[in-house]
Structure 1
Amino acid sequence: MKTLFELCKPRQSVFNETKREDVLNLSDLKEGKIECAPFFEENYVTDGMKTLFDTAFNRFIKRGQTGVVKLTQAMGGGKTHNMLALGLLAANPEFRGKVMANSEKYKSIDIVRVVAFSGRESDAPFGIWGSIAEQIGKKEAFSQYYTPLSAPGETAWINLLSGDPLLILLDELPPYLENAKSKTIGNSDLCAVTSTALANLFTALGKAQLANVCLVISDLKAAYEIGSELIRGAFKNLENEVNRSALNIEPVGAGSDDVYHILKKRLFESMPRADEINLVAIAYKDEVAKAKQMGLTSISPDLIYTGIKDSYPFHPSIRDLYARFKENSGFQQTRGLIRLMRQIIAGIYIGDKSKAKSKYLVNVFDFDLNDRAMLTTVTQIKQELSNAIAHDIAANGKAIAEEIDAQYQQELVGDVGKLILVSSLANVPNALLGLTLQEIIGDLCEPGRDIAGLKRALDEFQLRAWYLEHDKEGKLLFKNVKNMIAELHSLVDSYD
């Protein structure tokens, strides 16, 4: 059986900070800074993306009833990436056959005009409508709406946009609208004027003259309540005007394996054959079966086997454990997970003694908390666990887990600590936290690891860790308050 190092080759971009796709935005698209070939080389087409492509291109050939698409997902959920992919395909016909499964259906479409506006451009001098007019080469056509800034009506939008197929991309509008609230215009403000302009634009897209125009807009309702309310209101106006609603598309399926596929495509240049993956899955299944026979875990060996075949080169536990903290405030879901996994992959592949040469899967605990960049990434997910990490898990050899591993000459307790840490990172109401001992052992099982000694080492860890707790269901988790062990230590120290 071959190792990760032998079977999976990471992309060079994994090791290159300056070439990371996850920092691209609509400004890069508008300024022509994105190279199509490398972008699509790392792109995985999800079902949501397929629906977006078909919806837009059907519109370009005047066969689509839906002129407005709203991408719905929390911050960092793939909305901007989907917009970039659609914009690049619209403007570069030569790549459609390589990316779109049914590109023949749209072979009559030449280069599509693309207009992009990011709400981060809060200083746009002539508003959203001025930016759109300028990008399609008709800036003067809207001159009457610039001084003072006023909302173009439905007819004005139709006159401006009609003609050849056109794609309009509007991203991160909520922060733009919130900022516009502070800019006074007459007895109103730029926010209200922009809201009216958008409502008129959405309504105009329901007219026959704009049957080949598609508008894609992202929603960040979880992060920007004021702006999102305005956007929802604008879409409601569109429904009232044309008796239909915008099409909602989720870029990354919440209950699907999309994240696995995105990570594979984004991070790895080459993957092994199915028969080689099967050997790895069988080996893990056998290890879990041994642990189950010893009464150490209740996890099903068959589920591990099928899970690995779907998730390789990632351990199937990643899907559940990382999903726990994706709703944390400030964590950017798909984008945040890509960044985290990039750091993990780079960490286990770099160096002559890289861990990838002795590992068969990437597990949730395969990160080095003594690496400053990785420590920062993890603590930003849930900052209140910083003390738990420093005292109990990793502190350049001085943490409890490191001391125990040094005593037994293994890296078992450190991995246990990081596994429990990941299971404790959720920071939302009613979050699922912690793992049972049987779940911990099941997730730790891997070829070449001696699980038999785990119970003894874990018992010692529980006796010495200051921030490790049991909940009422028997799950182990880290908290930001000291436990009874720590209080006893403090009491003893007070008598010295």
Structure 2
Amino acid sequence: MNLKPWREVAVPHEDVLKGTFQQAEFAADLSRVHEGTATAEYQNPTLFFQRTFFTEGMRLLLDSVVKRLSGKGGDPVIQLQTAFGGGKTHTMLAVYHLAKGEALASDLPGVPAILDAAGVTELPRARIAVLDGIKSSPNQPVVRDGQAIRTLWGDLAWQLGKAEGYALVADADASGTSPGKAVLETLLSRYAPCVILIDELVAYVRQFEEGKALTGGSFDSNLSFVQALTEALKAVPTAVLLASLPESDKEAGSQRGVKALAALAHYFGRIQALWKPVGTEEAFEIVRRRLFTSINDKLAAESVCRAFADYYTANGEDFPRETQESRYFERLMHAYPIHPEVFDRLYEDWSSLDNFQRTRGVLKLMAKVIHRLWKDNDKDPLIMPGSFPLQDADTRNEVIYYLPQGWDPVVERDVDGERAETTDIENRDTRLGSVQACRRSARAIFLGSAPSTANQMVRGIELERVALGVAQPGQQVGIYKDALRRLGDRLHYLNSGNNRFWFDTRPNLRREMEERKRRFQDKEDVFPAIRDRVQKTFASGVFGGIHIFTTSGDVPDDWQLRLVVLPPDAAFSRSGQSLAIERATEILKTRGDQPRFKQNRLIFLAADSDSVSRLKDQVRSTLAWQSIVSDIKEMKLNLDQFQSRQASKSLEDANEALRRMIRETYKWMVAPMQEARPGKGLTEIQWEHFPVNPGAQNLSLEIERVLKENELLITEWAPIHLATALKNWFWKDDVKETSALNVWQQSCQQLYLPRLKDDAVFQQTMGAGAESRDFFGFAQGKENGRFVGFSYGKRTSLFLDSSLLLIEPVTAAEYAQALRVADESARPKPTDTTPSTPGGGDISPRVEDSTKSTYVGGAGAAPQSVKKQFYGSIELDAIQAKKQFADLVDEVILQFTSRPGVKVKIAIEIQADSATGFDDGLQRAVKENCNVLRFKNAEFEDGD
């Protein structure tokens, strides 16, 4: 869209262009004009009215003054009481030049219309008296033509009538007492039409101490003078008084100033007309007339304003509601070439600052802004909040002057300038840099939020107002939204909340968090935090132990199923070299500096390599928020309530994000396996990997599901699978039985065998296959070629120890058949000589005792003696001792203790041998523990 830049349509005044304006030139000085020493723009009536825009309030006031001086009514007393910089002195100057009549009314722009409205053809020249409360001194007389004048009333009389007028109040002036109403009425009548302009009266009166008289009178005499003067003015139809009073107690100054303001306001209030202050819309024209000569291309200006209005309408959801009204086009036209949002921010926000004068302050600031933009050849169609050249030292100093201490680093670091973060972002991202999206957004936020205070309930500037201050026709609003997101991540002093943005002299919490993140190191802080979080995600499950970030030496090499969680620096990657496999291989093969034997007992959980960096960053963020919240509680950080709540909420969000990130990162189950074929040996160790669903509610249950579904873990094993494994690996050509305990232990060691949950699964499998003749038989040992405790094809009690044998089914069937044959051959044959039992009963057969090679007679055998004592001994496996002893108690000891009258005595004998000898630490620990456990004897002996 081809819109003319403002510089081609509106030309600034010469002093603005050259930057030769002086700060004092913006401050209208009534006394200097009265003395004839002011600058031409204030001293010359024609130049003054050329740059004066008649606001509604000024027109009403001048209308009243014109009527009063012409004897056609009007208000005798007009009180100008508005905010600091509200245009009071400028209004007095308009009255001064109008009443003095040094220039024809027709030569004064805007004045003829005022005379016409008042019905006055020619305004009579009036005498003018100017009483300046700042220039006058209560205790320092002024000498005029040899006459010492002490008081305000003396000065008033002299200015109106010289020596003759002074003579009317000479005694009152000398004594410091107020002249009466009648004397003042005579004075005013004699020199009417007259205008009395009193500026900064409070500044004069507050200098009088109560009960103490000065050459200028006393506090009470000056108040009496004001009262008498206002009453006298009512009686003189062609005399008028304009007096300016501060609007607030703060502007009044000291305690006496506040008291003086209250008293003067009371007396002026008895007979006065209040002047209507300058409206914001009127201020547009005031500033434009003072800063710009004219609009030399009205069609171009209208085209620009129309383009902006249409742009706002087309993107209504991105801009404030008032931009959708048709009158916003009129606001654009009134303010051109300055955007209305600039005036709104300055008049609504900046004018709330104590030392920022409404009109004068805006003029001073905008003069420097326009000068710099003109010098930089700015090509924007309008001067917008985003246009403010805050990188310019003069402009920045002018803005910061009105703000509290601490804003200079905010602007320099975050808003504008070569070293600002905004500039760095734009230099790295040409899309943002092409429209200066970051700098313009930061300037608009600064202009709209810097005057706010931490005590405000709602701080900052809304997103749509930021857009209003920066976006131009033809641009996408989204680019500025992107810029704001980038600024939120990078800027140190920018805050945001509830879709509002603001700068503060205190660093924002996000940047504070970002700085604190740098404190935390991987090994010392981040990994322990991840370890704690991972630990909390697990519940009890199938694993005998869960080892999180544990070194190989601390992972036991035993029969328990163990899950090893690898640290973040050993992450898994499907696409390349995986550190997880290297670390897992190290743990799988060694336990510290010793080889590991129970390799099939380990399963690994690894982090996803693509997610580790985000996880570590999230941990640092969480730790940083924790430290901030902790410092807030300990009063180490001075934050407002909003920031305290924001910190707590951010910590909650960070913890929740970290919980999700832990699950999303630790997503790979990694398990070792080997393939083996009988007679062909083993393959290299291979690693299977399967993803864990991060959305599953319970991580432990999800891991179990993955392990079971992918047969990485067997919790239920069919006897046929055990039989197959026995055929493949344990029953050899010449040996058809094998130790059941050895089979279980080999399944814990060999990666080509199934990985069982625990020995209970193995025992259940054996028990399930015991009743069938298809899988295997059992024996409790083998002596001299005979199976002890042989069982085949029937339910039996099984105790997994070194004596339990699993027999190949064909061999077991043959052995069972042999037992039957032997049993049958051992039975006596019935003969005729065999005596019959009484009653014709059968003779009981003899049954083979499977533990002996002899036979035991049946019912006809000789009676045996009663057995009253039992003694048994067993050697326990050192690794399985705990479980074996528990089974021994359940299966044997309980048989005795459950019978009444049976006394059981259990003695345990422990013998340990070491070829290299036991060190002192071990001996000490064993002896101490034996004492605690009340061993009868516990001694270490020298070897043979």
* Aligned counterpart, 1:160: 187
Partner Cα distance (1:427, 1:95) in 2: 47
Question: Which stretch of the first structure deviates more once superposed, 485-494 or 193-202?
Answer: 485-494
Closer, same or farther: CA 201–405 of 1 in aligned 2, 3 Å:
same
Gaps of 5+ in 1: none
Q: 1:20 Cα deviation (Å)?
A: 6.3
Partner Cα distance (2:60, 2:26) in 1: 22
Gaps of 5+ in 2: 38-42, 142-149, 522-944
1:429-468 matches, cutoff 5 A = 430=456, 433-447=459-473, 449=475, 451-468=477-494
Partner Cα distance (1:480, 1:282) in 2: 38
Closer, same or farther: CA 289–53 of 1 in aligned 2, 3 Å:
closer
Of 35, 43, 66, the residue aligned with 1:57 is: 66
2:437 paired with 1:397? no
For the residue of structure 2 that corresponds to 1:94, the secondary structure is coil
2:126 paired with 1:103? no
Partner Cα distance (2:313, 2:456) in 1: 33
Count of residue correspondences = 480
Identity rate of aligned residues, in percent? 22
Partner Cα distance (1:324, 1:238) in 2: 31
* Aligned counterpart, 1:379: 400
Deviations 1:292-341 (A, max 9, x none): 5xx65565455554432332222121233221221211111111111111
1:43-82 matches, cutoff 5 A = 43-82=52-91
Q: 1:134 Cα deviation (Å)?
A: 2.2
Q: 1:408 Cα deviation (Å)?
A: 2.7
Closer, same or farther: CA 182–452 of 1 in aligned 2, 3 Å:
same
2:183 paired with 1:169? no
Partner Cα distance (1:48, 1:290) in 2: 37
Partner Cα distance (2:264, 2:309) in 1: 53
* Aligned counterpart, 1:319: 343
2:178 paired with 1:151? yes
2:226 paired with 1:198? yes
Question: Which stretch of the first structure deviates more once superposed, 456-465 or 14-23?
Answer: 14-23
* Aligned counterpart, 1:415: 440
Question: Which stretch of the first structure deviates more once superposed, 137-146 or 177-186?
Answer: 177-186
Larger radius of gyration: 2
Deviations 1:433-478 (A, max 9, x none): 422223322332214645443233322211111111123x320111
8 Å Cα contact 1:324-1:431 kept in structure 2: no
* Aligned counterpart, 1:341: 366
* Aligned counterpart, 1:91: 100
Partner Cα distance (2:487, 2:298) in 1: 39
Partner Cα distance (2:100, 2:7) in 1: 38
Using the size of structure 1 for normalisation, the TM-score is: 0.88
1:218-367 matches, cutoff 5 A = 218-222=244-248, 223-224=251-252, 226-227=256-257, 229-234=259-264, 236-237=266-267, 245-253=271-279, 256-272=280-296, 274-289=298-313, 291-292=315-316, 296-297=318-319, 300=323, 304-322=328-346, 323-350=348-375, 353-355=376-378, 358-367=379-388
8 Å Cα contact 1:220-1:228 kept in structure 2: no
Deviations 1:366-410 (A, max 9, x none): 22223222112111222243332222113x411111211222342
8 Å Cα contact 1:285-1:302 kept in structure 2: no
Q: 1:430 Cα deviation (Å)?
A: 4.2
8 Å Cα contact 2:66-2:115 kept in structure 1: no
Deviations 1:219-246 (A, max 9, x none): 1031116446535534544666xxxx30
If asked which structure has higher relative contact order (CA below 8 Å, sep 6+), I would say: 1
Partner Cα distance (1:404, 1:290) in 2: 29
Closer, same or farther: CA 236–453 of 1 in aligned 2, 3 Å:
closer
For the residue of structure 1 that corresponds to 2:169, the secondary structure is helix
For the residue of structure 1 that corresponds to 2:207, the secondary structure is helix
Structure with more helix by fraction: 1
* Aligned counterpart, 2:132: 118
Partner Cα distance (1:13, 1:283) in 2: 31
Amino acid at match of 2:345: L
8 Å Cα contact 1:469-1:479 kept in structure 2: yes
Q: 1:47 Cα deviation (Å)?
A: 0.9
8 Å Cα contact 2:488-2:496 kept in structure 1: no
Partner Cα distance (2:457, 2:155) in 1: 43
Amino acid at match of 2:479: G
Closer, same or farther: CA 233–58 of 1 in aligned 2, 3 Å:
same
8 Å Cα contact 1:219-1:228 kept in structure 2: no
Partner Cα distance (2:462, 2:187) in 1: 62
Closer, same or farther: CA 443–24 of 1 in aligned 2, 3 Å:
closer
Question: Which stretch of the first structure deviates more once superposed, 156-165 or 11-20?
Answer: 11-20
Q: 1:213 Cα deviation (Å)?
A: 0.6
Closer, same or farther: CA 483–146 of 1 in aligned 2, 3 Å:
same
Of 9, 12, 20, the residue aligned with 1:10 is: 12
8 Å Cα contact 2:11-2:293 kept in structure 1: yes
